[in-house]
Structure 1
Amino acid sequence: MTYNVHHCNPPSKPDFIDIPAIVKAIQAQNPDLVALQEIDVNTQRSGAFNQAEEIAKALNMKFFFGKAIDHGGGDYGVAILSKYPLTETTVHRLPTKPETNGEPRVLTTAKVKLPNNTTIRFGSTHLDAQSDSVNRQLQIAEIARIAATEKLPFIIAGDFNASPESGSIKALDQHFTRTCQTCEPTIPVENPTKAIDFIAYTPAKKFKVIKNTVVPEKYASDHLPVVAEIKLSGK
């Protein structure tokens, strides 16, 4: 599952933090792994707690938070939730061109040990939001470089802030296989028009997509969550 949670603030309720709504949305899908974006930790707007930790506790999952920037006296970034043990947790800094004043972005990864004792790498990311972004191209290139050094089957998920026809996603598709090819839109939550949230994997031969679903959860965040059921091949 990938879910941009809008710092757990329902768009219809400004200044209100509703972690139980995010928990309920995730719980309804019962995912093994979740990539979260727009997570607050000890910020003025959200309160003195780690949102990833609170969500993980409620779901009885493991978690790892990856800080991207300082925000409101605390931290802001992405996170991974997992039913299974997480090791080798890493925050990879992604590049931005200084002259663009782009917000710093990260890819957070972890090694995940599955119940059958196989292991994979799982990553959560949130790419640059500027239109026609040169930064997204740089960030995809860095993610591809990281993936090229990876010996484990690798799944990444997140808010790529780019639609399938964009240069950024075309660049992503050169290195990863997305779980949807004709992708349902994920924003806005009311009458969505754009697909920008994706799950993708490499190498292609190691995975088989059973199904990919955009969940019509319209209250909890300004993005719809995406869930993919993926079979891991032993080949």
Structure 2
Amino acid sequence: MKTILTLFFLLFSVATYAIEVPSAESKQPAKKIKNLKVMTYNIHHCNPPSAGAKIDVAAIARVITAEKPDFVALQEVDVNTERSGKGLNQAKELARLTGMNFFFSKAIDHQGGDYGVAVLSRFPILDSTRFILPIDPAIGGEVRTIAAITVEVAKGKKIIFASTHLDLKEPNRLTQAELIIRNFKENGLPMILGGDFNALPDSKVVSLLDQNFTRSCQTCLPTIPVVNPNRTIDFIMYKPDATFKSISTKVIDEQYASDHLPVLVELSVK
């Protein structure tokens, strides 16, 4: 318990990056905005499963660029690892290739570098935070984190956008979901959360999150594997209903770049 409580309150990290990448395509806060396009994408450290050990950041960037999202929640992101290249920060490179801003949140050390989740944003990043999600030491598991940014999507209208990747073990996922709910419950800002939740729509984890967030779809299409997908574990959700309304949810049939299919959601902003 002491270990878990310690993890609850580990905020920020020297291995966390929040950078705005200047681009003529980057959006500035507008006086009025109606819709937002949001993507969540587990990118498999930019390693196409059919391509051996090849790292193909450009392939992921092409998927993102083709859809022109305002926000992207990324999972399984490498920074300076041996397998991806010691000089390659995948979050930063994806931001450069897509003309977006980024924030990376480290989860674990991996092959001499960092591995975790990230967000991309067409809006300037006003604030960013990282926190570690709890793992029960009795059952073990891989450390997971959440990356959250605050942006201004219209004059005077700020929101939180976040990315996460929950653990493979359900008891850990439940405590991780509880922490996410608790940490953002009293913030007061509208929030959009995307991620690989490693949980099916009828699971206890998604049911818990459904009590506090609204999923963009209730009958959601499968997101994994990329060929003949049969499981839905990647979601975009938001709160409150008074701010956002889901217009559409699309699972993109992109079978090369990753082992997950990306999810694209269009939201209206009230």
Residues in 2 aligned to 1:54 and 1:68: alpha-carbon distance in whole angstroms: 19
Of 143-152 and 38-47, deviating more is: 143-152
Q: Percent identity at matched positions?
A: 53
Task: Indicate the residue corresponding to 1:64 in structure 2.
Answer: 103
Task: Indicate the residue corresponding to 1:79 in structure 2.
Answer: 118
* 1:29 has 2:57 as partner: no
- For the pair shown, which has the larger CA radius of gyration, 1 or 2? 2
* Alignment partner of 2:161 out of 105, 110, 122: 122
The change in CA–CA distance for 1:203 and 1:115 in structure 2 (over 3 A counts) is closer
Residues in 2 aligned to 1:193 and 1:94: alpha-carbon distance in whole angstroms: 27
Residues in 1 aligned to 2:164 and 2:220: alpha-carbon distance in whole angstroms: 18
- State TM-score, norm by structure 2: 0.84
Task: Indicate the residue corresponding to 2:57 in structure 1.
Answer: 19
Correspondence list, 1:182-201, <5 A: 182-201=219-238
Residues in 2 aligned to 1:84 and 1:206: alpha-carbon distance in whole angstroms: 18
* 1:220 has 2:248 as partner: no
User: 1:156-178 deviations in whole A, cap 9, x for unaligned?
Assistant: 00000001011111111011000
Task: Indicate the residue corresponding to 1:155 in structure 2.
Answer: 192
Letter in 1 for 2:254: E
Task: Point out 4+ residue stretches in structure 1 off by more than 3 angstroms.
Answer: none
3-state DSSP of counterpart to 2:189: coil
Task: Indicate the residue corresponding to 2:134 in structure 1.
Answer: 95
Task: Indicate the residue corresponding to 1:174 in structure 2.
Answer: 211
Structure 2: tracts of 5 or more residues without a match:
1-38
Residues in 2 aligned to 1:76 and 1:54: alpha-carbon distance in whole angstroms: 15
User: 1:89-129 deviations in whole A, cap 9, x for unaligned?
Assistant: 10011111012221011111000111444210000000001
Task: Indicate the residue corresponding to 2:4 in structure 1.
Answer: none
Q: Aligned-pair RMSD on alpha carbons?
A: 0.8
| Contact preservation (8 Å) 1:120, 1:154 | yes
3-state DSSP of counterpart to 1:109: strand
- State TM-score, norm by structure 1: 0.96
* Alignment partner of 1:204 out of 241, 247, 254: 241
Of structures 1 and 2, the one scoring higher in RCO (CA 8 A, sep 6+) is 2
Structure 1: tracts of 5 or more residues without a match:
none
Q: 1:87 deviation in Å?
A: 2.1
Q: 1:60 deviation in Å?
A: 0.8
